């Protein structure tokens, strides 16, 4: 378990009041953790609660959030095991292939397979990488490759 994990906090109800009932707020808290192979520990109650407590300790130190824990009405927690079970995420890795140097830019898997004719890839584990706008670009690059190889099928 990570000793001092990072925390990402987003409060959607701050920009869209419909994201929470009147007088309430909705919080989305992300703690980046290792995938199911890199971190060899079970996602049991003890580990989940450990991360939950660390997140709450960090958030409760922020001005205005001192009483956060006792004001929680409802919460859902997703672990890498849940991402694997619900979305078939490889090794429970929600962001796909790690963006290390040797897995970035031209080293990252490209939209067109070099080994298998007619096989194309798109999504966060291929070039250019993870994140919604970047994955949309991956789809565009994949479509370009498909059009180049199949000009007669082009919609243009």
Ligand X SMILES: Cc1cc2nc3c(=O)[nH]c(=O)nc-3n(C[C@H](O)[C@H](O)[C@H](O)COP(=O)(O)OP(=O)(O)OC[C@H]3O[C@@H](n4cnc5c(N)ncnc54)[C@H](O)[C@@H]3O)c2cc1C
Q: Site residues (CB under 6 A) for ligand X?
A: 30, 87-88, 94-95, 123-124, 130-133, 135
Q: By three-state DSSP, how is residue 10 classified? A: strand
> Could you tell me the CA-to-CA distances from 74 to 16, 21, 26, 50, 86 in Å, in that order?
19, 12, 9, 18, 21
Nearer to ligand X, 136 or 154 (CB): 136
Nearer to ligand X, 85 or 154 (CB): 85
Least separation, in Å, of the C-beta of 113 and ligand X? 17
Least separation, in Å, of the C-beta of 28 and ligand X? 8
Least separation, in Å, of the C-beta of 142 and ligand X? 11
Nearer to ligand X, 59 or 70 (CB): 59
Least separation, in Å, of the C-beta of 66 and ligand X? 26
Least separation, in Å, of the C-beta of 30 and ligand X? 5
Which residue number is nearest to ligand X in terms of Cβ?
Answer: 123
Furthest CA-CA distance within the chain = 63
Distance CA 152, CA 116 (A): 21
Nearer to ligand X, 1 or 136 (CB): 136
Calculate the dihedral angle through the C-alpha atoms of 115, 117, 121, 126, rounding to the nearest 10 degrees: 30
Nearer to ligand X, 95 or 120 (CB): 95
Distance CA 128, CA 103 (A): 10
- Work out the number of other CB atoms within 10 angstroms of the CB of residue 114: 8
């Amino acid at each position: 378990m990570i000793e001092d994990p990072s925390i990402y906090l987003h409060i959607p109800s701050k920009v869209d009041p419909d994201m929470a009932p009147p007088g309430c707020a909705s919080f989305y808290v992300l703690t980046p953790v290792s995938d199911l192979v890199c971190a060899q520990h079970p996602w049991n109650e003890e580990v989940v609660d450990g991360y939950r407590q660390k997140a709450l300790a960090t958030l409760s130190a922020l001005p205005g959030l001192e009483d956060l824990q006792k004001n929680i009405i409802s919460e859902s927690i997703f672990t890498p095991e849940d991402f694997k079970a619900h979305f078939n995420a490889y090794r429970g890795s929600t962001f796909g292939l790690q963006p290390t140097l040797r897995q970035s830019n031209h080293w990252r898997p490209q939209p067109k397979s070099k080994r298998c004719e007619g096989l194309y890839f798109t999504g966060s584990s291929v070039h250019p990488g993870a994140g919604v706008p970047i994955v949309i670009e991956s789809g565009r690059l994949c479509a370009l490759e498909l059009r180049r190889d199949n000009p007669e099928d082009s919609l243009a």
